[in-house]
Amino acid sequence: MKVQITIAAISAIMIASVVVAQRAPAAVAIGKPAPNFSAPAASGKTISLNDYKGKWVVMEWNNKDCPIVVRHYNSGSMQATQKWATEKGVVWLSVCSSAPGKQGHVDADGANEMLKAKGATVSQYLLDPQGEIGRMYGARTTPHMFVINPAGETVYMGAIDDSPNASAANTSKARNYVREALTLGMAGKPIEVATSQPYGCGVKY
Amino acid sequence: MIPVIALLMIQTASTPHCKVELIAENTAIAPGESARIGVRVTMDDGWHIYWKNPGDSGIPTKINWNLPKGWKVSDMKWPTPQAIEADGFTSFGYEKSVLFMTRIVAPKDAKIGSNIPISADMEFLICKESCLPGNAKLSTFLKVGDAALIKPTKWAEEFESTALYLPRSTANWNLSAENIHNIIILSGQHPDYVQLGEVKFFGEDPGAFDNSLHLPAVSRSAGIFTLNIPVSPYASKPPTRIKGVLTGFGTHSYEINVPITN
């Protein structure tokens, strides 16, 4: 009986692996090289991740009309994190993977207008209307955050903080995982929370 | 007798694409007794709100109850969610309508004939293709009445049917869970033989398990099954327990909470 169970379990694991592989093609994993991409930015430049080797990089999935994104921008907490990070030399890449006609989709002008209105200090705002970078990273919510170290490895992926709320009530008390990962990472310390379940609106592919 | 529901008021609400109501099972509550109250959400076609673990996207629906001193409110019962799939991702939530119910207990010295203010603050995210924020402050008065005179409201049946389909116990299922290379092998036996449908696992802890629901179930005989549930790539550490809801065993859903061995 024990043997039968083991065989059943092993065959089931193989099936499960196939299912997982089909579902999560995202190449992003903690400690592994973050996949390179090349994409147009709202600045008019073409941006590649490889351009930033040697620097800390934050990626923030954005949909300006998602209520959870709105909460983080209306409270000023996202801009404060951007300012804090970019002043330390961190490269902040916001990415919009909303397809044309879907919530949060912007062209370059729309993105620049929004960034100005919100007082956002992102390094570049990447336009990904086909969702290529989004799918490459398995981005599933807005916001969905990734932190990449100077060696080009992903060291954090997940939620912006530990406060999956619809309203701003608890934002100030939240534990900001991106700040924490950057602070610990830059100090050469292990990153305590390297992953967390991202929360927010589904990315509008 | 004044029906409780006649006194329903909505103070402030922003509830796009849905209707939110504070409802009670009975017309009154007797001193020292308990009664079910709840928040009922009726959504427009295609719109959904989220379970306590919203899955790949979303925000957990939150309801905070406010009752006068001396009144008690128990934990909210979350009805079994459904899988909402889009773009290869899976969220856990509710479509059409859902009743979030809870049980309140009146103090023994509650005065018969008095009207007790109760309120519920609700926050949620409601999505179809786009997502919108929702919030509501709902309030009503509950009448304290003589037990013999209490009658069911028009909602009583809905409380009954919601309770009937809440996740059930798996205490006698002989469940065990083992972590083999980040896949949790969950084994057990349904005490009555049931033909397995598409078995789905809704993990309760956000980020602990893969939210994909298409799990291979191996049914060997007489209700014995093995399920393979991948640990989420977003798990911050290997899970030590597997908690959540199973569906696909006949008409009911089941709650599991099993320690994981390595």
- A19-23, A34-38, B73-77: range with highest mean pLDDT: A34-38
Distance CA A140, CA A205 (A): 9
Of B14, B13, B137, B115, the C-alpha closest to B66 is B137
The CATH number for B160's domain is: 2.60.40.1250
Q: What is the pLDDT of residue A189?
A: 97
Please indicate if any CB of chain B lies within 8 Å of the CB of A16: yes
Distance CA A100, CA A130 (A): 9
Q: Where are the beta strands (DSSP E) in chain B?
A: 9-14, 18-24, 34-43, 48-55, 62-66, 72-73, 82-86, 89-95, 97-105, 115-127, 131-143, 176-180, 183-189, 196-203, 217-219, 224-230, 241-249, 252-261
| Same-domain pairing of B152 and B219 | no
Q: Do A202 and B132 touch (CB under 8 A)?
A: no
The CATH number for B244's domain is: 2.60.40
Range of the domain at A172: 26-202
Chosen domain end from B130, B164, B198: B164
Per the domain annotation, does B215 fall within a domain? yes
The CATH number for A78's domain is: 3.40.30.10
Phi and psi (nearest 5°) for B176?
-140, 155
Q: What is the distance in angstroms between the Cα of A107 and the nearest Cα belonging to chain B?
A: 18
Structure token digits, residue B164: 């009937």
The whole-angstrom distance between residue A139's C-alpha and the CA centroid of its chain comes to 6
Q: What pLDDT band is residue A173 in, cutting at 50, 70 and 90?
A: confident
Inter-chain Cβ pairs, chain A and chain B, closer than 8 A: 134
Q: What is the pLDDT of residue A50?
A: 96
Q: Which residues of B touch A16 (CB under 8 A)?
A: 183, 215-216, 228, 230
| Same-domain pairing of B142 and B67 | yes
Strand partners of residue B157 = none
Structure token digits, residue A88: 């330390």
Q: What is the pLDDT of residue B199?
A: 85
Please indicate if any CB of chain A lies within 8 Å of the CB of B125: yes
pLDDT above 60: residue A1: no
Please indicate if any CB of chain A lies within 8 Å of the CB of B14: no
pLDDT above 60: residue A144: yes
User: C-alpha distances in angstroms, B258 versus A15, B176, B242?
Assistant: 23, 7, 5
Which of A201, A203, A204 to mutate: most B Cβ within 10 Å? A201
Please indicate if any CB of chain A lies within 8 Å of the CB of B220: yes
What integer best gives the mean pLDDT of chain A? 89
pLDDT above 50: residue A16: no
How deeply is A113 buried, as exposed, middle or buried, from its count of CB atoms within 10 A (0-12, 13-18, 19+)?
Answer: middle
Of B124, B149, B158, B139, the C-alpha closest to B68 is B139
Per the domain annotation, does B23 fall within a domain? yes
Among the partner-chain residues B131, B206, B220, the one whose CB lies closest to the CB of A103 is B131
Q: What is the distance in angstroms between the Cα of A53 and the nearest Cα belonging to chain B?
A: 25
Q: Do B228 and A203 touch (CB under 8 A)?
A: no
Q: Total domain count for chain B?
A: 2
Per the domain annotation, does B132 fall within a domain? yes
Query: Among A81-85, A119-123, B8-12, which is the least confidently predicted range?
Result: B8-12
| Same-domain pairing of B82 and B23 | yes
Q: What pLDDT band is residue A169 in, cutting at 50, 70 and 90?
A: low
**Which residue on chain A is closest to B84 by alpha carbon?**
A202
| Same-domain pairing of B189 and B159 | no
pLDDT above 60: residue A7: no
Q: Do B56 and A141 touch (CB under 8 A)?
A: yes
| Same-domain pairing of B131 and B181 | no
Please indicate if any CB of chain A lies within 8 Å of the CB of B204: no
B 56-85 residues inside an 8 A Cβ radius of A: 56-60, 62
Range A133-145 average pLDDT: 97
Please indicate if any CB of chain A lies within 8 Å of the CB of B131: yes
| Same-domain pairing of B75 and B127 | yes
Q: Which residues of A touch B56 (CB under 8 A)?
A: 140-141, 202
Note whether B79 and B98 are within 8 A (CB): yes
> What's the pLDDT tens digit per position in B219-228?
767 778 889 9
Distance CA A119, CA A113 (A): 10
> What is the secondary structure of A148-180 as a DSSP string?
E-TTSBEEEEE-SBS---SSGGGGGG--BHHHH
| Same-domain pairing of B130 and B257 | no
Find the radius of gyration of the CA atoms of chain B: 20
Of residues B251 and A35, more confidence is placed in A35
pLDDT above 90: residue A79: yes
Among the partner-chain residues A19, A195, A204, the one whose CB lies closest to the CB of B216 is A19
Please indicate if any CB of chain B lies within 8 Å of the CB of A15: yes
Per the domain annotation, does A12 fall within a domain? no
Examine residue A143 and say whether the peptide bond preceding it is cis (omega within 30 degrees of 0).
yes
Q: Do A29 and B233 touch (CB under 8 A)?
A: yes
Please indicate if any CB of chain B lies within 8 Å of the CB of A91: no
- pLDDT less than 70: residues of chain B: 1-12, 214, 216, 220
Q: What is the distance in angstroms between the Cα of A161 and the nearest Cα belonging to chain B?
A: 13
Range of the domain at B188: 176-261
> What is the secondary structure of B129-182 as a DSSP string?
SSEEEEEEEEEEEEEB--GGG--B-TTHHHHHHHHHTSPBP-TTS--EEEEETT
Tell me the ipTM for this assembly. Answer: 0.88
Per the domain annotation, does A133 fall within a domain? yes
Phi and psi (nearest 5°) for B149?
-100, 0
Chosen domain end from B164, B196, B227: B164
Q: What is the pLDDT of residue B4?
A: 47
pLDDT above 70: residue A13: no
Q: Where are the beta strands (DSSP E) in chain A?
A: 38-40, 46-48, 57-61, 91-96, 124-127, 141-142, 145-148, 154-158, 201-202
| Same-domain pairing of B186 and B148 | no
Q: Do B133 and A166 touch (CB under 8 A)?
A: yes
Among the partner-chain residues A70, A165, A202, the one whose CB lies closest to the CB of B123 is A165
Which of A32, A72, A199 to mutate: most B Cβ within 10 Å? A199
Note whether A117 and A67 are within 8 A (CB): no
| Same-domain pairing of B149 and B249 | no
pLDDT above 50: residue A26: yes
Per the domain annotation, does B170 fall within a domain? no
Per the domain annotation, does A39 fall within a domain? yes
| Same-domain pairing of B204 and B77 | no
> What's the pLDDT tens digit per position in B143-171?
999 999 999 999 999 999 999 999 999 99
Q: What is the pLDDT of residue A94?
A: 98
Chosen domain end from B164, B199, B232: B164
Q: Total domain count for chain A?
A: 1
| Same-domain pairing of B128 and B245 | no
| Same-domain pairing of B160 and B196 | no
Distance CA A25, CA A138 (A): 7
Q: What is the distance in angstroms between the Cα of A151 and the nearest Cα belonging to chain B?
A: 21
Note whether A138 and A154 are within 8 A (CB): no
Q: Which residues of A touch B131 (CB under 8 A)?
A: 66-68, 103, 201-202
pLDDT above 80: residue A22: no
Strand order in the sheet with B241-249: B196-203, B241-249, B252-261, B176-180, B183-189, B224-230, B217-219
